């Protein structure tokens, strides 16, 4: 099935550092979503973006909807141990079919 | 906000046995409903989605089927499970965003 390219695939960071990850697609999306998944659980929605160029924050998390509508970025500031998990981006196609296509995930590990 | 209920949480089934996973949604009406499968350490693969009762779109050819008998009920089924059907199955519901249930871990032995 179709998936978005998400990078990096995994990263180890020190507690307190900032984290950046991104998603790119060959298709245009009209909605970008960012999720966090803990082991054995369903993904939890962190941020939703609806307009090209939109910048939205949720606490220490900030995400942006790329101006080309083919990419999105998520930044986590001052990481803490509970930020550990897998982060997924998801795009909703502009074709009106209401499908959400998911990225391949970024596995984040925070070293205390 | 809406709540997505999935059961069971874990399931071990023999090869060739039937499957029925149920998903129900509370707190919304006429949602779009989705079934995803996630292999270990991998991303989410869209299997089916539905925009209304009785309306099912299949994304990938497979051994599974889906049905939506009621507005907020989505069922994933198989007549005969294969080893390759093992995985973590997630139901999602939403309009502009997608909200997920807690998932069912299926192991086919």
B41-100 confidence digits (pLDDT tens): 788 999 999 999 999 999 887 899 999 999 999 999 999 999 999 999 999 999 888 999
Tell me if B46 and A1 make a contact (CB, 8 A cut-off).
yes
C-alpha neighbours within 13 Å on the C-beta side of residue B11: 24
Q: Are B76 and B88 in contact (CB under 8 A)?
A: no
Question: Tokens in use for A87?
Answer: 């982060």
User: What are the Cα distances from residue B20, in Å, to A112, B28, B31, B78, B107?
Assistant: 43, 23, 21, 7, 13
What pLDDT was estimated at residue A2?
A: 63
Q: Which pLDDT band, with edges at 50, 70 and 90, does A9 fall under? A: very high
A89–chain B nearest CA distance, Å: 10
What pLDDT was estimated at residue B60?
A: 81
Report the DSSP beta bridge partners of residue B19: B78
pLDDT higher than 90, residue A21: yes
Q: Residue B63 and residue A25: Cα distance in Å, rounded?
A: 29
What is the Cα B13 distance to its own chain's centre?
Answer: 16
Chosen from A10, A25, A33, A43 to mutate, greatest number of chain B CBs within 10 A: A43
Chosen from B49, B59, B97 to mutate, greatest number of chain A CBs within 10 A: B97
User: A31: which chain B residues are within 8 Å (Cβ-Cβ)?
Assistant: 96-97
Q: Which pLDDT band, with edges at 50, 70 and 90, does A95 fall under? A: low
User: What are the Cα distances from residue A32, in Å, to A3, A16, A27, A57, B96?
Assistant: 13, 27, 12, 14, 10
| Residue B106 at interface with chain A, using a CB cutoff of 8 Å | no
| Residue A96 at interface with chain B, using a CB cutoff of 8 Å | no
């Amino acid at each position: 099935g179709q998936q978005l390219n998400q990078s990096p695939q995994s990263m180890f960071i020190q507690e307190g550092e900032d984290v950046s990850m991104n998603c790119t697609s060959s298709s245009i999306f009209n909605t970008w979503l960012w999720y966090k998944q803990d082991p054995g659980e369903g993904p939890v929605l962190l941020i939703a973006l609806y307009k090209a160029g939109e910048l939205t924050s949720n606490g220490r998390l900030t995400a942006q909807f790329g101006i080309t509508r083919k990419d999105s970025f998520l930044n986590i500031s001052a990481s803490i141990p509970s930020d550990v998990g897998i982060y997924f981006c998801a795009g909703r196609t502009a074709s009106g079919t209401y499908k959400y296509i998911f990225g391949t995930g970024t596995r984040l590990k925070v070293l205390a | 906000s809406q709540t997505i209920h999935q059961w069971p949480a874990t399931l071990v089934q023999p090869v060739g046995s039937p499957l029925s996973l149920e998903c129900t949604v509370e707190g919304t009406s006429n949602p779009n409903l989705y079934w995803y499968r996630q292999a270990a350490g991998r991303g989410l693969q869209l299997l089916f989605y539905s925009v209304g009762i009785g309306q099912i779109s299949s994304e990938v050819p497979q051994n599974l089927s889906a049905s939506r008998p009621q507005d907020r009920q989505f069922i994933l089924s198989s007549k005969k499970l294969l080893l390759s059907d093992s995985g973590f199955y997630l139901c999602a519901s939403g309009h502009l965003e997608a909200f997920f249930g807690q998932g069912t871990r299926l192991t086919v032995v």
